[in-house]
């Protein structure tokens, strides 16, 4: 009897959850448009979209974004441990459609364009106009993923890295501007034989064919800052990242703790503990490009072009089409409030309409 009563209560609770979710969705089903979100580092685009879909219209009753962020991290960790099994999010009934344009890596931050309902069909209109990125690279080491998450594949000797100057980087940059051929990193979402490249990488499965270079367009690359403390060279002024982003890239998995007897990265081991290694030469770029460009690949190839190696250690997308970071973006916490999303949609529509006709 008690078990039967418990089962009935559980079914009723599930029905109420589905009903309440459906009512919220019915409200949100009246929303049609596109807007921009300031994606934080440490969460996937799909994970951020999932927070929006689960919490839109819930307002103060929504799950905190910090809690959702932690759950997404646990899902990724679970998936990484199993290698072959993809972690699944809990299903929530909904009759709204959501989508995003222009994928950002988990560890990247910045402008991400969302569409809701009929707005999903308009995403392409809002992505016209190119993208811009603020990227930081460190010299002397390369990884399999071309960023700090990957395992080290090459470590250059100090003497070779010390000889790299800002002038050498500036001289090499024009080779990567214009229509160029670029090889995507193995950790990317490109499909090969029906499977994404990062799925091959994470399971250790051999990629069936060579990853081909692709033609992409890079409009401009500016060297904003270069510092090589051991060589006593410093050029330009480093652009300060938004505080939350700067804190993320300086703490947690990125925090320098002086690991390793030699204090240097080791081939075959993760780079992350050494991403912020003191004295490592670093440079900051502002990249303007079309779609399909991997900034990670640009930094990796630039390192080779100056006779060293390089890895990207931070990335912020500062614009997507006509939409700019901060000026045109809302924060993840705002995604639970319909009025804020509506305002963001109206703002994005106004910005795009105005700039398109200038």
Q: Which positions are annotated as active-site residues? A: 105
β-partners of residue 287 are 133, 221
- Residue 211, phi then psi, degrees to nearest 5: -75, 120
**Long-range contact set of residues 233-236: C-beta below 8 Å, sequence gap at least 24:** 233/165, 233/166, 235/166, 236/166, 236/284
Question: Which residues, in sequence order, are CB contacts of 81 under 8 Å at separation 6+?
Answer: none
Contact between residue 81 and residue 291 where contact means Cβ atoms under 8 Å apart? no
* Residues shown for the chain: 358
Both structure tokens of 56: 């839109």
3-state secondary structure of 341: helix
d(CA 303, CA 142): 8
Residues 2 and 11: their CA atoms lie apart, in Å, by 14
- Cα 154 to Cα 33: distance, rounded to the nearest angstrom: 46
């Amino acid at each position: 009897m008690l078990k039967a009563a418990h089962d009935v209560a559980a079914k009723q609770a599930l029905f109420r959850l589905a009903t309440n979710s459906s009512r919220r969705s019915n409200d949100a089903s009246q929303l049609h448009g596109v807007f921009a979100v300031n994606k934080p580092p440490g969460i996937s685009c799909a994970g951020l979209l999932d927070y929006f879909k689960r919490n839109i219209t819930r307002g103060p009753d929504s799950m905190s974004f910090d809690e959702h962020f932690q759950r997404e991290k646990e899902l990724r960790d679970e998936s990484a441990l199993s290698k072959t099994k993809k972690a699944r999010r809990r299903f929530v009934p909904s009759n709204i459609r959501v989508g995003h344009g222009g994928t950002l890596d988990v560890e990247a931050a910045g402008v991400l364009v969302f569409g809701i309902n009929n707005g999903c069909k308009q995403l392409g209109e809002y992505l016209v106009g190119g993208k811009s990125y603020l990227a930081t690279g460190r010299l002397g080491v390369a990884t399999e993923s071309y960023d700090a998450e990957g395992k080290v594949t090459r470590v250059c000797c100090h003497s070779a890295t010390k000889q790299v100057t800002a002038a050498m980087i500036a001289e090499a940059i024009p080779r990567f501007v214009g229509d160029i051929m670029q090889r995507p990193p193995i950790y990317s979402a490109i499909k090969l034989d029906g499977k994404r490249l990062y799925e091959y990488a994470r399971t250790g499965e051999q990629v069936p064919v060579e990853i081909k270079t692709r033609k992409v367009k890079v409009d401009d690359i500016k060297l904003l800052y270069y510092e090589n403390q051991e060589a006593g060279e410093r050029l330009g002024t480093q652009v300060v990242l938004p505080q939350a982003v700067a804190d993320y890239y300086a703490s947690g998995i990125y925090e320098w703790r002086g690991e390793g007897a030699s204090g240097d990265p080791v081939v075959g081991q993760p780079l992350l503990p050494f991403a912020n290694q003191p004295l490592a030469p670093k440079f900051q770029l502002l990249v303007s490009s079309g779609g399909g460009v991997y900034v990670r690949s640009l930094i990796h190839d630039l390192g080779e072009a100056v006779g060293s190696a390089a890895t990207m250690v931070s990335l912020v997308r500062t614009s997507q089409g006509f939409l700019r970071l901060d000026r045109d973006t809302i924060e993840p916490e705002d995604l639970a409030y319909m009025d804020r999303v509506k305002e963001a949609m109206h703002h994005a529509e106004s910005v795009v309409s105005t700039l398109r006709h200038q």
